Structure 1
């Protein structure tokens, strides 16, 4: 069932079959971290996990963030990540990349992953979800629909509202709805500047200085390593049916959710949108408007924590080393404070 993963020693994946859809066979893929087999596992990583942790990626993404896995494992978590249907390890040739028509379609993926997690760790293990960007929207809506299922929810720059403003979503939804009814798989002409990809790959223009000698941070030196077939540049095309599903999700968030578990939201402290490249983009969210995220945080659930990180990018856990250290520290403190990670009798 488990096979060696492309991330190297200490990482394994399992392909989980799902029900066919209109495009044919569908699978989801569960990746796990096995610290005992990982030569780069962090010092003093516990051998027996105290909670399970499931990470959900964003749009045009898949799981490749090994450092996140090692940090969570060192905090006592059994780390798992899912490549949702039609993304990354789960995409098949006959499929439209990333395409779904309802966010609730992912319930089948998530429940298949949870069956494996609970089989491996028991039904009483505390469960924490993590979602980035679109994955944050998916995780938040799932948590709202499944009260009591989670012990904690970590949202990394979750996409909780449409770009521009609520009024833009409200005006645009009927148009997208009409288009999706006629031709749900039509590709929308949404531009991709490629600037976020430049940030992740440590690209620099001729006026930017080279990394300092001895710098080993991937953010400033080599860039993050990922499979370009699974994280595309330009981004995977956006289809009308998919965007309508996202807009409906945003509308649910706008009405207010009732997430029963403690929730932490981490974002950059600044947004920078521009049609011209700037090195300042390396210290801001260039994908989502963080102020829109902040406005939605109080209405997510009963106990919410907002962390605004100076110098962070869209994926705060892929920012420069000092920001990552701060982000991981906030997550670990929050886990100790709010999540019941000590199992009864253990």
Structure 2
């Protein structure tokens, strides 16, 4: 059985089955994402924009189904790989065990990364691919010439709700869920096209942006959960597991040192989370800027903020547990003097 470690040097050269399996499944998702990305937004001659929107939606659903068939594609194209053979060997070994021993072995293999992706993790990966492809569908097919091709009443109602819950200058009082300030925005397009935030919000482009922002805000936490399901173990193996508080294993002064270090790290990560989360969740002018495929791709890296959010959550929990353990140790040391 491969050695288990929780530092980045050993992680780089590790051969965990989970990570190898994740690589192949992510490769399949990326392939179908590229297929969807390349053709979404097509327009068939002789059909209206709404009809073409419907055809694009059907095409989007077909690509999503192809993504959901990851296990089939893996067995079809990668069944001769070392990863597939390892997975088959482990499954055959587990099938020979009785129920009691089997669960114990499964828990151990899962901890050290020697199990393939579980169905929940595969579904989370498919969700990520499907959601980001939906953004491409929205930008390429649903929005044409900065205007929503299809604007039913429920879409207009959502746009109105976002507008009512947006903080606007110059007063910026009664802080609401979302923010919009064109004059401080990095978007040159918005500053050139609109003199005030109200002009933007009442335009066709403003309506498209508000609805798109609702979709992005609604999926912020589902994306976070999906990334957590897929990458939480990997982040632990990279090194986050070293931050786990183990009360019995380290001394009082080691606890103090660890608590101070975690305090600094938690503060730093929370700043990153607040900045990145604010831009992805609250910033409407950023949403307006990425209603363009070029800028969408250029800013896609900002989704790494979700990983920082998960890391901050891990480390905050460790910080809290270390603090509790430190209080207990301090209390015990005080009692020794009385």
Smaller-chain TM-score bracket: under 0.3
Select the structure with the greater relative contact order (CA < 8 A; seq sep ≥ 6): 2
- Structure with greater strand share of residues: 1
Q: TM-score, normalised by structure 1?
A: 0.25
TM-score (norm 2): 0.26
Q: As a proportion of its length, which structure holds more helix?
A: 2
